Amino acid sequence: MTANQLFAQYALLNDGWRRDVLLEWNPEGLLSNVSTAASPPPGVARAGWLLPGMPNLHSHAFQRAFSGLTEYRQQREDSFWSWRNLMYAFAARISPEQMEIVATWLYSEMLEAGYTSVCEFHYVHHQSDGAPYAEPTTLCRSLLNAAKNTGIGLTLLPVCYQNSGFGGLPPESKQRRFINDSEQFLSLWQQLQAPCRQQQVRLGVAPHSLRAVTPASLTRLIDGVRRMDAHAPVHIHVAEQQKEVEDCLAWSGQRPVEWLMNNQPVDERWCLIHATHMTEPEYRRAAASGAVAGLCPSTEANLGDGIFDFPLWRRHGGRWGIGSDSHVAVSAAEELLLLEYSQRLQRRQRNICADDAQPDVAASLYLGALRGGAQACGRPVAGLAVGQRADMVELDGEHVALAQLPLDNILAGHLFGSSRASALRRVWTGGRLRVDRQHTLHSAAQAAFADVRRQLLQHL
């Protein structure tokens, strides 16, 4: 086989499906040539239907370990605020070794499900009693190891978490593993630069939320990181819950996104995770800033967050991407399906996430999430184009959901008719084959994950 080349009978490029596409990449895994209407060179590897890999712009890896454990009624009206009690219990117990094992399985799952890069929003930093590790980057390195071993592209977002509520309320004891003051956090961030650079990991920053940092701390954090890297991605949870909006109004007289727009230099480097509860002026101002809306439909549905007004965001030219967040579902196709279906249920219409310029719902969803996800990652993963990484996903031409479909309906068959991830065959990152039906680490990673879950459940 010819190295660093792949010939696709059909490939989804940024301007739509193209036939007979030859892709070539350099030793660093970046595409150096994408030719259409090409002839296959002798000995070149071949693919059928090829998609660009999808970025996952929001992940809390350790939460995969308790998927399925919160689906029982704890009180008369359960919400995010009751759900997070179990999250705290797992966060209190997980060790660096267990974190790496859980993340290794999760990242293998992501690759099998069509995600080729992930933004890891990581807030568990310290030992179980809240004392720092002798090596402050210990838990971050667990995630770096998992990404390296699986081959998924990584944007590491260490989280700054200081307070339990608006107005600088002191942290709760169950948040002790998360807490860093500003000096500790900026020191941690500086120490992560070298290992991230060595591993080709993008390092960004994540103030957890407006309730978890004071205005002064947020400014100090952003300014401190900017001095070290002026282009570092900034991700923040914002306006996910109605209670958060009410608490922010009580504290500041402003809604969360309104406060951010009035008090921080929000621009294309920012990713506003969830941003579910906004007014029309907030939608307009946030979209105009160039920030990405980080939508996580499966988690937002699981937690009862509410429904993002996608048509209004699109009307204002807003950029967006998808994430699997708490990992109740790990499937790029399923997140896109749920995004479209939630809009249909709310409006009692069909084919909402499309417009006159792109009437194909599947293509509109996929390419829109790809563009916004790449921007949020801060990595060159914006599709099958020269200069972008050779992150590629092949659909399974033998899958019954795709059989006999016309080319223009193949993507819709994958997103809406294939039981989500089951229509995928092979996945490459940086030009290296990672999945052929299954990830190369699938069996070992799955068994190790199951053992870690057993260990964690014994101590709940």
The token pair at 124 is 């568990």
456 falls within a domain: no
Crossing angle between the packed helical segments 182-198 and 215-228, to the nearest 10 degrees: 30
DSSP state of 78: -
What's at 206, amino acid-wise?
A: A
Exposure on the CB side of residue 403, measured as CA atoms within 13 A = 4
Pick the catalytic residue: 325, 327, 391, 396?
A: 325
User: In this structure, are 89 and 47 located in the same domain?
Assistant: no
Crossing angle between the packed helical segments 138-150 and 96-112, to the nearest 10 degrees: 30
The predicted structure's pLDDT at residue 1: 46
CA distances to 133, 294, 311, 314, 365 from 318, rounded to whole Å, are 41, 11, 10, 5, 13
User: In this structure, are 243 and 342 located in the same domain?
Assistant: yes
User: In this structure, are 290 and 147 located in the same domain?
Assistant: yes
How many other C-beta atoms can be found within 10 angstroms of the C-beta atom of residue 39? 9
Q: Which residue range forms the structural domain that includes residue 30?
A: 4-52+385-439
455 falls within a domain: no
User: In this structure, are 62 and 31 located in the same domain?
Assistant: no
User: In this structure, are 189 and 201 located in the same domain?
Assistant: yes
Handedness of CA 362, 305, 60, 209 (dihedral sign): positive
CATH number, residue 414: 2.30.40.10
DSSP state of 441: T
454 falls within a domain: no
Q: Which residue's entry shows tokens 């739509």?
A: 16
- The total number of structural domains in the chain stands at 2
Out of 350, 377, 404, pick the residue that ends a domain: 377
**C-alpha span between 145 and 407 (Å, rounded):** 39
Residues written for the chain: 460
Pick the catalytic residue: 58, 122, 274, 439?
A: 274
**C-alpha span between 14 and 8 (Å, rounded):** 15
The candidate with the shortest Cα–Cα distance to 115, out of 146, 153, 149, is 153
For the sheet with 234-238, list strands across it: 234-238, 270-274, 292-295, 319-322
118 falls within a domain: yes
Query: Coil, helix or strand for 122?
Result: strand
The predicted structure's pLDDT at residue 420: 72
**C-alpha span between 83 and 307 (Å, rounded):** 18
65 falls within a domain: yes
User: In this structure, are 328 and 186 located in the same domain?
Assistant: yes
Active site residue 325: yes
Out of 348, 377, 406, pick the residue that ends a domain: 377
Query: Coil, helix or strand for 445?
Result: helix
User: In this structure, are 86 and 232 located in the same domain?
Assistant: yes
The predicted structure's pLDDT at residue 68: 77
Scored b (16 or more CB within 10 A) or e, 339-366 reads: bbbbbeeeeeeeebbbeeeeebbbbbbb
What's at 54, amino acid-wise?
A: M
Q: Residues with Cβ < 8 Å from 286, sequence gap 6 or more?
A: 257, 261, 266, 272, 275, 278, 293, 318
pLDDT tens digits for 391-412?
Answer: 999 999 889 999 999 999 999 9
User: In this structure, are 137 and 262 located in the same domain?
Assistant: yes
Out of 345, 377, 409, pick the residue that ends a domain: 377
The predicted structure's pLDDT at residue 76: 61
Each residue's pLDDT expressed in tens, for the chain with a length of 460 residues = 468 999 999 999 999 999 999 999 999 999 999 999 999 999 999 999 999 999 999 999 999 998 877 666 666 665 555 667 778 888 899 999 999 999 999 999 999 999 999 999 999 999 999 999 999 999 999 999 999 999 999 999 999 999 999 999 999 999 999 999 999 999 999 999 999 999 999 999 999 999 999 999 999 999 999 999 999 999 999 999 999 999 999 999 999 999 999 999 999 999 999 999 999 999 999 999 999 999 999 999 999 999 999 999 999 999 999 999 999 999 999 999 999 999 999 999 999 999 888 899 999 999 999 999 999 999 999 999 999 999 999 999 889 999 999 999 999 999 999 887 789 999 999 999 999 999 999 999 999 999 999 999 887 7
457 falls within a domain: no
User: In this structure, are 11 and 94 located in the same domain?
Assistant: no
**C-alpha span between 112 and 116 (Å, rounded):** 9
User: In this structure, are 284 and 296 located in the same domain?
Assistant: yes
User: In this structure, are 232 and 263 located in the same domain?
Assistant: yes
104 falls within a domain: yes
pTM: 0.96
Inter-residue contact 382 to 367 (CB < 8 Å): no
CATH number, residue 194: 3.20.20.140
275 falls within a domain: yes
User: In this structure, are 293 and 373 located in the same domain?
Assistant: yes
The predicted structure's pLDDT at residue 77: 60
